Amino acid sequence: MNPLITDDQRAQLLDNGAAAARGEKRDPLPVVKLFTLDAHATWLLTELDPSDGDTAFGLCDLGMGAPALGHIRLSDLEGIRGPRNLAVARDPHFTPRRRLSEYTRLAQADGSIND
């Protein structure tokens, strides 16, 4: 099984999380896209809390028409299974095309992450 995030992604997420913890106002590019293979949930994550290395922040779309910014534990995502018992996966082909604020604006207007 592939890990949800690579070592390089973890380093970038932690760097973004440290900047946020210092109070820096940034609008980062998402670092990783996670999704359910057999449901309609998607997470675009931008940071990890450096104090625990598990609590991620980003745009969360649970497939119910109300994507929102929020926190999720990677350890919780590892335990999620969809209706056909498929695990959450990382999109290895994801390349961010816009800042988190723009993904959020578009997703809230559309009712879902469409990237």
State the Cα–Cα distance between residues 41 and 91, nearest whole angstrom. Answer: 13
- Tell whether 2 is covered by a domain: no
- Tell whether 20 is covered by a domain: yes
- Tell whether 87 is covered by a domain: yes
| Cβ atoms within 10 Å of 75's Cβ, excluding its own | 12
- Tell whether 115 is covered by a domain: no
Number of domains in the chain: 1
Res. 47: pLDDT tops 80: yes
**Predicted local distance difference test score (pLDDT) of residue 30:** 98
**Sign of the C-alpha dihedral computed for residues 43, 68, 19 and 102 taken in this order:** positive
The pLDDT tens digits of the residues spanning 30-42 come to 999 999 988 889 9
**Predicted local distance difference test score (pLDDT) of residue 1:** 43
- Mean pLDDT estimate for the chain: 94
Q: Which domain holds residue 59?
A: 7-110
Res. 97: pLDDT tops 80: yes
43-58 average pLDDT score: 97
- Tell whether 37 is covered by a domain: yes
**Predicted local distance difference test score (pLDDT) of residue 2:** 54
- Tell whether 1 is covered by a domain: no
The pLDDT tens digits of the residues spanning 3-23 come to 899 999 999 999 999 999 999
